Amino acid sequence: MRIRTIASVAAAALILSVAVGCSDEPSGTASLSSQGGPGSATSALSSDTPADIKGDECEDGGPQGDVLRGSENYDYEGFRSVGEAVTAVDVVASGRIAQWSAGRSIIDAGDATRFAVIAIDVDEPIKGIESRRIYVKFDLGSEGLDEEGTPIPGGDGSSTVLSLEEASQAAPVGTEVLFLGEENPPVEEEESAPNVHVVNPRAGLPDGAVLLAAYPQGLLLKGCDGETVSAIVDEGDIDAWVASLSSVDGQTGPVSAKSGGSFALLVKAAAALTER
């Protein structure tokens, strides 16, 4: 089990990032290709017409936060409310997953962290964004490498990397998303630590895209019953956000992230905060 310390929103770039595409037109084809392996932008699972989350995405249980999170633990200072989060970060948007693609790898001494890129078609550009599609870099896990850079099978260096298909099944195309984040540090800064190297840093991203980073609490998915599924940290880290919004005009609404209707409540609250 790895424990990651997150000192700031910007530091979350090593966990998850987003790229804002230059084109206003969503693109993609309904296909799955395995060309290129880790770090290649040619592996993709996508759809031009995202389905509603109450459709096929829920036949197998819908978004699976436990699969996406794996065994990661994060040591970070969490936001106490969605209001704090929206105020602190530079980019807030809601939309739907349109495509999963293979992304970069980050090599740190004898370990390699693999990433996927999630394309999200934006339904509501809440803060700091006007593009209709953003690209989210998602941590698939890490694996040990031998001296020649080959993944080590079994033992302490065994792979904990999700495949692209496993990740896309855990957060299917069409799943609704609430993203909160800000600009990702440049590659030069990511590689400033000793023995750290970013492989294929532009994999899965369009030309001219601007990289952003999501805070650990900043990648939230809508479950099949309208609950909030967190893709990075446990849903318990989102409970206080929901509870603080649960009483409106004397009526009690969702009281935790796992309550039905909590996702819509968070999206509505985030949008309302930027309209003030």
**Mind listing the pLDDT tens digit for each residue in 207-226?**
887 777 788 999 999 999 99
- Sketch the domain layout of the chain as residue ranges: 3-274
Give the C-alpha separation, 124 to 213, whole Å. 19
Task: Give φ, ψ of 245 to 5 degrees.
Answer: -110, 0
Residue, of 124 and 61, whose pLDDT is higher = 124
Give the C-alpha separation, 179 to 232, whole Å. 12
In the prediction, which pLDDT does 162 show? 93
Residue 164 corresponds to which amino acid?
A: L
Which tokens sit at 64?
């699976």
Place of tokens 């941590």: 139
Residue, of 111 and 1, whose pLDDT is higher = 111
**Cβ atoms of 197 and 74 closer than 8 Å:** no
In the prediction, which pLDDT does 154 show? 54
In the prediction, which pLDDT does 14 show? 40
Mean pLDDT taken over the chain:
80
Q: Collapse the DSSP code of 155 into the 3-class scheme (helix H, G, I; strand E, B; otherwise coil) and give the result.
A: helix
Cβ neighbors of 66 (< 8 A, separation 6 or more) are none
This prediction's pTM: 0.82
Q: What is the pLDDT of residues 118-169, one digit of tens each?
A: 999 999 999 999 889 998 889 999 888 877 788 887 545 556 799 999 999 9
Cβ neighbors of 241 (< 8 A, separation 6 or more) are 79, 80, 81, 82, 85, 217, 257, 266
102-117 mean pLDDT: 91
Q: What is the pLDDT of residues 164-188, one digit of tens each?
A: 999 999 999 999 999 998 877 788 9
Q: How confident is the model at residue 41 (pLDDT cuts 50, 70, 90)?
A: very low
**Cβ atoms of 226 and 261 closer than 8 Å:** yes
Helix (H) or strand (E) holding 69: helix 65-69
Among the listed residues 53, 198, 23, 31, the one whose alpha carbon sits nearest the alpha carbon of residue 100:
31
Q: What is the pLDDT of residues 242-274, one digit of tens each?
A: 999 976 545 578 899 999 999 999 999 999 987
Residue, of 142 and 55, whose pLDDT is higher = 142
